[in-house]
Amino acid sequence: MNTKFYSALFATILTAFLSMSFTSCSGDDDDELTISSPYQFVGKWILESANGESFSGSRHYIVLDANFSYEVFPKGNPFGIKDRGSWKFNGQELILNNSSIFHIDKLTSTSLVLSSDSDKLVFKRDGENPYNSTTMQLIGKWELRTYQLYGEEKRTYNDGRRYLILNADFTFSINPYNLFEAEKRGGTWSLDNNNSVLVFNKDDGDRYKILQLTETTLQLGWLEEGDVIEKTTFEKVE
């Protein structure tokens, strides 16, 4: 198999790879991850080797998007694999454009190994994976349970009408818009300070310290000049 074929095959493999993800998170990049969600694989993946043949540099790579589409670089190949396409994951295999099927041999936070009947491909991640264990815990619908502004009495809620939704594409929505002291309806969210601060609409600078995060509970502290002046506690319902 020649280099051009590896490049084409690499594109196909990477696309499927996007649909996998893991639930566990470890400080050791070599620790194998449990596959549980496709979002763990969003990003840029560089081909390191194909059937034992090493590839230097970063010329051959694929970009996997959270909308289950992919794009391969460099452009063009003579083997029928499209430069752009879609992917899906069936639980054990990555499937590109509903035709090219690869088994997932290994996944860590920095590498991916895929194989077919005749080929074995090894990839490395370029950049940080935005879908870490904290991100995955945050994704979902959270209903407000308690609210307390500094110096005031804590309020309790259980009516299901006040909630925060953190989507996997890093957008959010809030009902009602003044659920927080810093009023907002929706926009984008991200993590900062080693995943310890939740940031809404980065340009606006609304920052909330994650005081507690479990599978069912999220407590946020609104930061003003580094101090927590408001606490909100949520329960995960979806």
166-219 pLDDT, tens digit each: 998 899 999 998 887 667 788 899 999 999 999 998 866 689 999 999 999 999
- Residues 107/89, Cβ–Cβ less than 8 Å: no
* Average of per-residue pLDDT across 79-89: 77
Nearest to 136 by CA among 207, 219, 218, 230: 218
107, pLDDT greater than 60: yes
Confidence (pTM): 0.66
- Residues 168/39, Cβ–Cβ less than 8 Å: yes
- Topology classification of domain 3-126: Lipocalin (2.40.128)
Q: Determine phi and psi for 204, rounding to 5 degrees.
A: -80, -20
Predicted local distance difference test score (pLDDT) of residue 210 = 97
Choice among 13-27, 73-87, 109-123, 223-237 with the minimum mean pLDDT: 13-27
> Does domain 133-236 bear CATH number 3.30.70.270?
no
The pLDDT tens digits for 38-80 are 777 788 889 898 888 888 888 888 787 888 888 888 876 645 5
Predicted local distance difference test score (pLDDT) of residue 181 = 67
87, pLDDT greater than 50: yes
Nearest to 108 by CA among 34, 17, 178: 34
CA-to-CA separations, 177 to 169, 173, 186, 234, in angstroms, rounded? 20, 9, 8, 16
Identify which has the larger pLDDT, 160 or 25. Answer: 160
In the chain, % helix, strand, coil (3-state, to 5) comes to: 10, 45, 40
Contacts of 177 (CB under 8 A, 6+ apart): 183, 184, 185
Nearest to 50 by CA among 110, 93, 112: 112
For residue 22, what pLDDT band results from cuts at 50, 70 and 90?
A: very low
- Residues 143/160, Cβ–Cβ less than 8 Å: yes
Instruction: Specify the DSSP element, H or E, that contains 232.
Output: strand 227-236
Identify which has the larger pLDDT, 29 or 95. Answer: 95
Contacts of 66 (CB under 8 A, 6+ apart): 18, 38, 39, 42, 168, 169
Every domain range in the chain assigned CATH 2.40.128.280: 3-126, 133-236
